[in-house]
């Protein structure tokens, strides 16, 4: 019996719907937002109206009742056109809303998820700090419980936080040290901090190489007080919680990276058929054909990898290694395809009016965010039974 990796009719219908939206609505406008380093509120609003932010969440909380595979399908189609929009959705769902869904109390879910699912508000995940990223055990942000009021008092700084400073950002889930073990190692917890809480400051937006139409800031917390019930999940279990979030997020980033890799193929095939040199389309040259064949191979294999990981996730099977493999391969494929697409476009590939220039700038972060390529190789080696 042959393994059928094709999408179900429902998932294929979703794919076509998002593809049409990306091509008809996002593609004509996003370049201008990108050039202005401007967050595309109107596009995000339309994505919310389509239910994209609610794809993997239950209908009882305002979601679409779909699954993580559905989210990844949408991310791939969006990233074929633009990664800023795709990462806004990925971070809003995987990092913003998913922690509340997975670890929140019933009250927390009913308070936050309905607005997160419709895109009325965005959520962010405050993990990375100026001196720790992959080494999350080095977290320096602290949260101390006030014995008189029961409130958490948070102090610290977070870096590179997506969706954290928009006009519609509603909350940031912050990882903080709440206690120490006997050996001195930190016990980390996650705490919901609503936007606008006194002492919670959002720094000016970063000047980034890519993802210029997405929102990224440094955050600081100076004696920020939130109610004790804003603790998300069990106290001291924050480390395990964010590992779960990152494992799932890697599948989503793999889908996004696949979309970028495929977008490079799409744009390069179009250009190779239109651009002539020495009296014929450049696509007639074997050197260009071989480049494009290799680019399609990378995109196709990346797609198989993330769909395998997503299928395991949805089925409730172990997926950590599959997620790391998919994230590693697809992100490196995206970087390679972006470089090759720029080369095929020649001088025009260096002009911002061409999508491949944007894709080239956007690709590199995919080898860094949600676990660097080096971290993915460490995870894969560990899953193979190799110890440090």
Q: Are residues 326 and 265 in the same domain?
A: yes
Cα 194 to Cα 82, 169, 170, 362: the distances in Å are 29, 9, 6, 29
Q: Over the stretch 215-242, which tens digit does the pLDDT of each residue have?
A: 999 999 999 999 999 999 999 999 889 8
Catalytic: which of 20, 296, 370, 374?
370
Residue 1 has pLDDT above 50, yes or no: no
pLDDT value of residue 29: 96
Indicate the average pLDDT of the chain.
Answer: 95
Q: Does residue 388 belong to any structural domain of this protein?
A: no
Residues 106 and 208 in one domain: no
pLDDT (tens digit, 9 = 90+) per residue, 53-75? 999 999 999 999 999 999 999 99
Look up the CATH number of the domain holding residue 228: 2.40.110.10
**Four-point Cα dihedral 189, 331, 211, 213, nearest 10:** -90
Residue 172, helix vs strand vs coil:
strand
Query: Which residue, of 103, 122, 141, is where some domain finishes?
Result: 122
Closest CA to 305 of 328, 281, 334, 282: 328
* Residue 70 domain boundaries: 9-122
Say if 84 falls within a structural domain.
yes
Region 370-379: mean pLDDT is: 95
- Number of folded domains that form the chain: 3
97: Cβ contacts below 8 Å, ≥ 6 apart: 53, 57, 112, 113, 116, 117, 123
Q: Taking residues 358-379, report their average pLDDT.
A: 96
How far apart are alpha carbons 234 and 382 in whole angstroms?
27
**pLDDT grade for 138, boundaries at 50, 70 and 90:** confident
Return the closest-CA partner of residue 248 out of 312, 303, 192: 312
Q: Do 246 and 378 have their domain in common?
A: yes
Domain edge (last residue) among 122, 138, 154: 122
Instruction: Tell me how long the chain is.
Output: 388
pLDDT of residue 26: 98
Contact in structure between 119 and 46 (CB atoms under 8 Å): no
- Please say which residue of 88, 122, 156 terminates a domain: 122
**Residue 207 falls inside a structural domain:** yes
DSSP 371: S
- pLDDT tens per residue, range 149-170: 999 999 999 999 999 999 999 9
Whole-prediction pTM: 0.96
The residue among 342 and 133 whose pLDDT is bigger is 342
What pLDDT, in 10s, does the model give residues 6-37? 899 999 999 999 999 999 999 999 999 999 99
Place of tokens 């279990």: 237
304 in Cβ contact with 5 (< 8 Å)? yes
In the DSSP assignment, the letter for residue 129 is B
255-302, pLDDT tens digit by residue?
Answer: 999 999 999 999 999 999 999 999 999 999 999 999 999 999 999 999
pLDDT given for residue 242 in this prediction: 87
Integer Cα distance of 215 and 267 in angstroms: 26
Active site residue 370: yes
Contact 337, 260 (CB under 8 A): yes
Q: In this model, does residue 195 exceed pLDDT 90?
A: yes
Residue 269 lies in a domain: yes
């Amino acid at each position: 019996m042959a393994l059928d990796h094709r999408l179900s009719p429902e998932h294929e219908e979703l794919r076509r719907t998002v593809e049409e939206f990306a091509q008809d609505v996002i593609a004509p406008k996003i370049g201008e937002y990108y050039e202005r380093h401007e967050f595309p509120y109107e596009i995000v609003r339309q994505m919310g109206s389509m239910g994209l932010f609610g794809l993997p969440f239950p209908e009882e909380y305002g979601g679409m009742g779909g699954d993580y595979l559905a989210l990844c399908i949408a991310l791939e189609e969006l990233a074929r056109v633009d990664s800023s929009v795709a990462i806004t959705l990925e971070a809003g769902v995987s990092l913003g809303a998913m922690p509340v869904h997975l670890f929140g109390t019933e009250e927390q879910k009913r308070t936050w998820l309905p607005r997160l699912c419709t895109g009325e508000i965005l959520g962010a995940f405050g993990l990375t700090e100026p001196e720790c990223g992959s080494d999350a055990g080095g977290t320096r942000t602290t949260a101390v419980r006030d014995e008189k009021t029961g409130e958490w008092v948070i102090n610290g700084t977070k870096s590179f936080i997506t969706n954290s400073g928009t006009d519609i950002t509603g909350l940031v889930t912050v990882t903080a040290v709440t206690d120490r073990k006997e050996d001195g190692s930190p016990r980390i917890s996650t705490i919901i901090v609503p936007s606008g809480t006194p002492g919670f400051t959002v720094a000016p937006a970063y000047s980034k190489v890519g993802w210029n139409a997405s929102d990224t800031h440094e955050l600081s917390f100076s004696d920020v007080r939130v109610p004790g019930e804003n603790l998300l999940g069990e106290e001291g279990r924050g480390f395990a919680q964010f590992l779960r979030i990152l494992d799932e997020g890697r599948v989503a980033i793999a889908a996004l990276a696949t979309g970028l890799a495929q977008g490079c193929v799409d744009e390069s095939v179009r250009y190779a058929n239109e651009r002539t040199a020495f009296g014929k389309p450049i696509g007639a040259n074997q050197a260009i054909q071989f480049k494009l064949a290799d680019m399609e191979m990378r995109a196709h294999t990346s797609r198989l990898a993330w769909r395998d990981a997503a299928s395991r996730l949805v089925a409730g099977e172990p997926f950590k290694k599959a997620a790391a493999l998919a994230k590693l391969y697809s992100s490196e494929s995206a970087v390679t395809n972006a470089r090759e697409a720029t080369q095929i476009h020649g001088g025009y590939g260096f002009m911002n009016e061409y999508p491949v220039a944007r894709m080239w700038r956007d690709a590199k972060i995919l080898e860094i965010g949600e676990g660097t390529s080096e971290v993915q190789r460490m995870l894969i080696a560990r899953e193979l039974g190799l110890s440090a």
